[in-house]
Amino acid sequence: MKSFLIPIKLTLVLIILCAGIYPLLIAFAGKMAPGGGKGETVQVNGKVVGYANVGQKFTEDKYFWGRPSAVDYNAAGSAGSNKGPSNPDYLKTVQDRIDSFLVHNPGVKKEDIPAETVTASGSGLDPDISPASAAIQVKRIAAVRDLPASKVQSLVEAHIQKPLFGPAKINVLKLNVALDELK
């Protein structure tokens, strides 16, 4: 009888910990996060224009482009393509992205394009780009918006986030909202 009580007690303790206390701790931590666990919204004139932690699709030349998405930025279906770097379909997709980027950014050389500018993230919803990816787009945006490139570059530099761990990054949605606010 004693050998049956030990596993039953252990099971009850684990149920309380894993199905009760742990979810409550995670919910509490979520409430402490920006947006109270519902995501950090970006607003313009009091209207929500998107979420800072989910990639958005920007294809117009007047905006900074984010990372490509294997799921067309559908947050309900977050995923990568699952195609390896030697897959012919994947290589064609990346080459098409490179060709499109070069058409929209004349004067840029293929070898100067940062990898994340033409490759999708694992989630397909990456909201950030590297400072190099933003910098390579400055000339195009300045020309389309008839702004000095130095002004656009200053805006990029003002939006660089330097986390404690990991590389510097720029939130594309926040950068584009600030770009629209430039006069």
pLDDT (tens digit per residue) in 118-170: 998 888 888 999 999 999 999 999 999 999 999 999 999 999 999 999 999 99
Q: Per-residue confidence at 4, pLDDT binned at 50, 70, 90?
A: confident
Q: Which of 158, 99, 111, 110 minimizes the C-alpha distance to 134?
A: 158
Quick one: how far is CA 63 from the chain centroid?
A: 15
Which residue from 165, 137, 143, 150 is spatially nearest to 66, judged by alpha carbons? Answer: 137
Task: Report the number of distinct structural domains present in the chain.
Answer: 2
Q: 106 and 122: one domain?
A: yes
Task: Using alpha carbons, list the distances in angstroms from residue 66 to 54, 129, 137.
Answer: 11, 6, 11
Same-domain pairing of 59 and 99: yes
> Are 125 and 75 a contacting pair, CB within 8 Å?
yes
Same domain, 19 and 58: no
Q: Are 7 and 80 part of one and the same domain?
A: no
Same domain, 85 and 13: no
Q: Encoding tokens for residue 85?
A: 């770097």
Average pLDDT over residues 49-70: 91
pTM of the model: 0.81
169 shares its domain with 123: yes
> Percentage of the chain surpassing pLDDT 70?
99
80 and 16 assigned to the same domain = no
Q: What is the pLDDT of residues 142-153, one digit of tens each?
A: 999 999 999 999
CA 175/CA 59 separation, integer angstroms:
14
Which of 77-91, 92-106, 111-125 reaches the highest mean pLDDT? 92-106
Do 96 and 68 share a domain, yes or no?
Answer: yes
| 108 and 159 both lie in a single domain | yes
Which structural domain range is residue 26 located in? 1-32
110 and 166 assigned to the same domain: yes
**Cα gap 47→56, rounded to integer Å:** 16
35 has pLDDT over 80: no
